[in-house]
Structure 1
Amino acid sequence: MNPSPKVVQWFNQFESGLNTLLALLMWVMAFSLGGVVLLRYGFGYGATWLNEVAVYCLAITALLGLSFTYQQDKQVRLDILYSKFSLKSKLIVNLVGNIIFLIPLSLFLFSYSIDYVERSWLLSEGSAEASGLPALYLIKTCLLIGPALLLLRTFIQCYQQSLLIKKVINRKKR
């Protein structure tokens, strides 16, 4: 089953909008950390809840930003050999890497997190700290959403890479 161009376009727009929200979360994280420092060292007051806001923002951003990072080709890559490859070789390496590594990793992370997140929801888990934030289970749900988004992005990338490989092969036949 091939994703239609409209589905791909919709997912790209969704990721772009999500990335904008995640960028705003990074600002929230920065200001909350600034607030923690100011309150602790300026007024001698420890604001556990504010520190947890920063940690939660980082967790959400890291997990939900995976697919957008991959779409933008900003992931960490060892370019020692890769940079010398032809376009066709790069596409094949990317496609094989997606199939062998990224799809199984996404599926593993998703399946491994299901029980963990479910337990958190059943317990209505909150912070371990008395003055911490409630509803930690909402944040832990990102352990499912992040890998699911990455898996969708990987399928789209595989589809697009296979089309490009076909195009490169057909161009060489001419």
Structure 2
Amino acid sequence: MLRLVVRLEFLLKRLTGLAGWIGVIAMGLMVLLVFTNVVLRYGFGVGAVWAQELQWYLLSVMAMVGIAYAMRYDDHVRVDIFSQRYGRTGRLWLNLLTATVVALPCAVLIIHFGYPFAEGSFLRGERSPNSNGLPWRFIPKGLVVVGFAFVATQAVAEALASGRRLTFHYMHMLRS
């Protein structure tokens, strides 16, 4: 059973690692696009609405997949007032409860309500209101769903890791 938990935890963390790479690629593309837009606009007096909207799409990718990646490396904002008061075991319990009672249910709710929002945009063929804008308005809306699917994945990985560590802690206490 323990092997299964460890393998599942490893697989889920690899998925979150994939989210990080997607975010890195989006960031690199966005930096390149912003630089190009600035040079074209201020150097040559040429601007493109679609390029500005593409920046917004890339920012959506970075933000949505970056949440789960930040969770994986414990770089997210948390309420340290609680975690500082507890020892190692208390922090493990806090992480387990946060993952199962806060992060996972919130991610599932956002996925549940975000999917019809993105699907409706896709079915209506929603596009930019600007004449030269991008036609795929469902993409940034769909990224909310994808991003929180990664958050749910990471929340499960965090819960498994905390549960495994707590199990070892209490097994060690019983043997002592």
What's the TM-score once normalised by structure 2's chain length? 0.87
CA distance in 1, matches of 2:97, 2:19: 28
Superposition pairs of residues 1-174 of structure 1, within 5 angstroms: 4-173=5-174, 174=176
What is the identity, as a one-letter code, of the residue corresponding to 1:148? A
How far 1:110 sits from its partner (Å)?
0.9
Q: Report the residue type matching 1:124 in the other structure.
A: G
> Structure 1 stretches of 5 or more lacking a match?
none
For residue 46 of structure 1, report the CA deviation from its aligned partner. Answer: 2.1
Contact kept in structure 2, 1:35 and 1:50, CA below 8 Å: no
1:116 to partner: Cα distance: 0.7
Larger relative contact order (C-alpha < 8 A, sep ≥ 6)?
2
C-alpha separation in 2, matches of 1:146 and 1:99:
18
- Alpha carbons 1:114, 1:144 under 8 Å: kept: yes
Q: CA deviation at 1:84?
A: 4.0
Report the TM-score when normalising by structure 1. 0.88
Amino acid at match of 2:72: Q
| Distance in structure 2 (CA, Å) of the matches to 1:4 and 1:91 | 17
Q: Secondary structure at the match of 1:58?
A: helix
Please give the alpha-carbon distance, in whole angstroms, between the structure 1 residues aligned to 2:102 and 2:19. Answer: 25
Point out the more displaced range, 112-121 or 126-135.
126-135
Identical pairs, percent? 22
Give 5+ residue unaligned stretches, structure 2: none
- 2:15–2:150 Cα contact (<8 Å) kept: no
